[in-house]
A and B are shown apart, each in its own frame.
Chain A
Amino acid sequence: MTRKEENMKTKDNALDGKVAIVTGGASGIGEAVGKIFVENSCKVVLVDINRDRLKKVVEEIAKEGSNCKGIYADVSVESQVKKLFQDVVKEHGRVDILVNSAGRDSLSPPITETTLEEWEKTINPNLKAVFLCCREAFIIMEKQGGGKIINMGSTSAKLASGPGHSPYRASKHGMMGLSKNLLREGMDKNINVTVINPSHVKTPMTEIIDKGLYDEDIPAYLEGWLDEKEIREGIHKSCIDVENVAEIVLFVATRDSSVTIPQIAIYPTHKIHRYGMEV
Chain B
Amino acid sequence: MDLKLNEKTALVTASTGGIGLEIARYLAHEGATVIINGRTSETVARACEDIYSRYPDVKLLQLVADNGSAEGYKRTIKEHSEIDILVNNLGIYESVDFFDTTDAQWQHLFEVNVLSAVRLSRHYLKRMLSRNSGRIVFISSESAINPAPEMAHYSATKLMQLSLSRSLAELTKGTNVTVNTIMPGSTKTAGVQKFIQDVFPGVEYETAEKRFMKENRPTSLIARLIRPEEIAAFVTFVCSPLASAINGTCLRVDGGLIRSAV
Interface residues of A (CB under 8 A from B): 74, 77-80, 82-83, 86
Across-interface contacts of B62 in A (CB, < 8 A): 86
Residues in B16-45 with C-beta less than 8 Å from chain A: 33, 35
Question: Total A-B pairs in contact (CB under 8 Å)?
Answer: 25
- Complex CA gap A78/B35 in Å reads 12
Q: Which one of A78, A79, A80, A86 has the highest number of Cβ atoms from chain B below 10 Å of its Cβ?
A: A79
CB distance from B32 to the nearest CB of A (A): 10
Q: Does B82 contact A (CB under 8 A)?
A: yes
What would 12 A/B residue contacts be, using CB atoms closer than 8 Å?
Answer: A77-B9, A77-B82, A78-B9, A78-B82, A79-B9, A79-B35, A79-B61, A79-B82, A82-B61, A82-B79, A83-B61, A86-B61
B59 and A83 contacting across the interface, CB-CB below 8 Å: yes
Across-interface contacts of A82 in B (CB, < 8 A): 61, 79-80
CB-based nearest A residue for B35: A79
Q: Does B83 contact A (CB under 8 A)?
A: yes
CB distance from B104 to the nearest CB of A (A): 36
- Complex CA gap A80/B82 in Å reads 11
- Complex CA gap A74/B61 in Å reads 16
CB-based nearest B residue for A86: B61
B80 and A78 contacting across the interface, CB-CB below 8 Å: yes
Q: Does B260 contact A (CB under 8 A)?
A: no
CB-based nearest A residue for B34: A79
A78 and B59 contacting across the interface, CB-CB below 8 Å: no
- Complex CA gap A86/B83 in Å reads 18
Kindly supply a per-residue 1/0 record for chain B positions 34-72, scoring 1 wherever the CB is within 8 Å of any chain A CB and 0 otherwise.
Answer: 010000000000000000000000010110000000000
Across-interface contacts of A77 in B (CB, < 8 A): 7, 9, 82
Across-interface contacts of B102 in A (CB, < 8 A): none
What 10 pairs between A and B have smallest CB-CB spacing?
Answer: A79-B9, A79-B33, A78-B82, A82-B61, A83-B59, A83-B61, A83-B33, A78-B81, A79-B61, A78-B80
CB distance from A229 to the nearest CB of B (A): 42
The interface residues of chain A, by DSSP majority, are classed as helix
CB distance from B49 to the nearest CB of A (A): 13
Q: How many residues of B contact A (CB 8 A)?
A: 12
Across-interface contacts of A86 in B (CB, < 8 A): 61-62
Across-interface contacts of B35 in A (CB, < 8 A): 79
Across-interface contacts of A79 in B (CB, < 8 A): 9, 33, 35, 61, 80, 82-83
- Complex CA gap A83/B28 in Å reads 13
- Complex CA gap A82/B81 in Å reads 12
- Complex CA gap A194/B59 in Å reads 31
CB distance from B201 to the nearest CB of A (A): 45
- Complex CA gap A108/B233 in Å reads 44
Across-interface contacts of A83 in B (CB, < 8 A): 33, 59, 61
CB distance from A125 to the nearest CB of B (A): 15
CB-based nearest B residue for A78: B82
CB-based nearest A residue for B59: A83
CB distance from A50 to the nearest CB of B (A): 14
CB-based nearest A residue for B11: A79
CB distance from A103 to the nearest CB of B (A): 20
Across-interface contacts of A80 in B (CB, < 8 A): 9, 33
CB distance from B60 to the nearest CB of A (A): 8
CB distance from A116 to the nearest CB of B (A): 11
- Complex CA gap A79/B61 in Å reads 8
Across-interface contacts of A74 in B (CB, < 8 A): 7
CB distance from A39 to the nearest CB of B (A): 30
- Complex CA gap A46/B80 in Å reads 24
Across-interface contacts of B7 in A (CB, < 8 A): 74, 77
Across-interface contacts of A78 in B (CB, < 8 A): 9, 80-82
Across-interface contacts of B81 in A (CB, < 8 A): 78
CB distance from B41 to the nearest CB of A (A): 13
Kindly supply a per-residue 1/0 record for chain B positions 82-102, scoring 1 wherever the CB is within 8 Å of any chain A CB and 0 otherwise.
Answer: 110000000000000000000
Residues in B193-207 with C-beta less than 8 Å from chain A: none
CB distance from B42 to the nearest CB of A (A): 17
- Complex CA gap A156/B35 in Å reads 37
CB distance from B245 to the nearest CB of A (A): 26
Across-interface contacts of B80 in A (CB, < 8 A): 78-79, 82
- Complex CA gap A83/B57 in Å reads 12
- Complex CA gap A14/B62 in Å reads 35
- Complex CA gap A78/B33 in Å reads 11
- Complex CA gap A74/B82 in Å reads 14
CB-based nearest A residue for B83: A79
5 further A-B contacts with Cβ under 8 Å, apart from A77-B9, A83-B33, are A79-B35, A79-B83, A83-B61, A86-B61, A86-B62
CB-based nearest A residue for B131: A120
Across-interface contacts of B59 in A (CB, < 8 A): 83
CB-based nearest A residue for B84: A79
- Complex CA gap A87/B249 in Å reads 38
CB distance from A47 to the nearest CB of B (A): 14
CB distance from A73 to the nearest CB of B (A): 10
Across-interface contacts of B9 in A (CB, < 8 A): 77-80
CB-based nearest A residue for B9: A79
